[in-house]
Structure 1
Amino acid sequence: MVIKAQALAYFVVKCTFSGPQDLTLDEQLIRTPGIWKLFVDGSVAGKKCGAGLILSSPEGFEICQAIIFDFPLTNNETEYEVLLAGMKLARSLEAKHLRAFSNSMLVVKHFSGEYEQMDPQTTAYATKIKDASLSFGTFELSQIGRENNGWADALSRLASAKTQSLTGSIYLTEAKTPSIEKKECLEIRQGADWMTPLRNYLEKDILPPNRREELKIKYRASRSIIINGRMYHRSFSQPLLRCLNTEEQYQALEAVHEGICGEHLAGWSLAFKILRQGFFWPTLKVDASEYAKKCVQCQLFATVPRQPPEEMTSVLSPIQFAMWAVDIVGVLPTSTKQARYCIIAIDYMTKWVEARPLSAITEEAAKKFFIEQIILRFGIPKICISNNGTQFNGNKFRKFLHHFGFK
């Protein structure tokens, strides 16, 4: 496969590489069971910055990643960026023990403390790497020669090469901002996250003063768990579901609803498909329904059911004021005498309308309306049609109908 250097990033998940060859390091130490290996390298060619990494599991499965950064970096900053990217990838795969190899002596010596950090930018990167290393059970960073880091070096040079041939599955992505600026943005966005109260309870045992809110958080936390800083939801019939914040929720809805192979599902169908992908948030069903309502393609091309749910029949009355339809409208804006409802009756033949405001919708109010505005004015009708509401279907109103002899 020919990959253009203008592409933004490449993730090679299944490769034909056999891994770094002819390493001068101790082979037995590298292949220790339970330890993940990470090989990283960065490259800067003019205005183009690239990086490559190879992450190898203890079982020998390899993930090769080549990144082209969409922002300017120095050689040292590129080495830091690719190391952070590799550590993030290893952490997402729940690696417990990681040994990283880089051909940058500056990065390795800064991490070990042998070199003094003078540049504020370099200091920020080094601090972030030390913080990231705490998420592993054991982490070790060693220097490796460029000649022994050939595959990572080849991946990093995609930024400066016009074309590059690789074999395997390739996915595209883009790195737009430096890693040292991303943490501050996430902290601001997570301030009002729905997961924050649950995290405070699970990690710090902090509960709100309100008793009702306290019980609510305890109930939700009983089905939540935090693994490597990531919150998961315990489902009844599925594995752990990854909890998503506000930004990730929108991305999940967009990808499943209208992404590749998106079926433009709506409502519970869309929500259930997201659940099957392993994601969760409390308002998933409501958000899925609202998202589908705002989709332009769904509004333009969705099938609109025009067939009535049951066979329609005409209701006709050959005699005036013999058949009335009655219903109640409300809640309306409050008027005089605290009236918030309106009872309405319509004659089927003449379409004559009788209406009265009501403050309460009771059987007594419906009886009074019929006596004063139907029977006394137009006579006793033959049939009364309603929607079987409680005001027209109670015992008192049925006795009233039976007394005057209409159905």
Structure 2
Amino acid sequence: MNNEAEYEALLAGMELARSLEAKHLRAFSNSMLVVKHFYGEYEQRDPGMKAYATKVKDVSLSFETFELSQIGRESNRRADALSRLASAETQSLTGSIYLIKAKTPSIKKRDYLEIHQRNNCMAPLRKFLEKGILPLDRREALKIKYRTSSYTIINGRIYHRSVSQPLLRCLNTEEQHQALKTVHEGICGEHLAGRSLAFKILREGFFWPTLKADASEYAKKCVQCQLFATVPRQPLEEMTFVLSPISFAVWAVDIVGVLPTSTKQTRYCIISINYITKWVEARPLSVITEKAAKKFFLE
């Protein structure tokens, strides 16, 4: 909500400047996210933020020059004071202060859905099946032509032709998440793993191109599966005994990394454990080299 408020404030100021027929505009914001989104330095993952960033870019085209800069919160006291006027009595304000009451969001639900649909992997297939539109990239166009041979549209719905099953209904982004949630942890959910979860969704008559990968990622992020899943305790192979009657005769050595970078720019650690006494020796390393390993063993 805070990021949306920052965007709404920026758009309100830009609209005010446009109504005053300003040609050159320089705007300031204390939100790094808004500034980085505008210049494309940060990735816009949320469709709502993408819609706001697109709206800001569209409005900025109405000015001959537009610049958006970030300022610190300590330099934004005047704007903070004006923002607190929302709770004040408007009758006590002078005419030098211009207030705008934003009753509805600047972006429409249609803009949000268009960006959301643009991120859907089924959108290019639908465009080609319905209107024959292909991407400008020749390689991408050939991929879509090849993939659409196994798809068809019935009553506005995309269906996938399967070899051993009837037509499978293709789901959009929102329906994909709902299907994963319902089958995995619904009223009859068994908290299946990724492969089993994907096959059960297929048996229910649904499909999308990244089904197996999405099912695997969803199962990995399930909190209940992490807490209550049965962990196999049986070793992968028969246990073998290591006989070492002399202390410090046999050592187990391993290198750990990449670790968080320390103040001395070390990112790795070489560890050695004695089999009999369980004595541990460890040393941080900035790089893994033969010289560093030899020095560790000699010392």
- Relative to the length of structure 1, the TM-score reads 0.38
- Relative to the length of structure 2, the TM-score reads 0.50
Structure with larger RCO (C-alpha < 8 A, sep 6+): 1
Higher helix share: 2
Higher strand share: 1
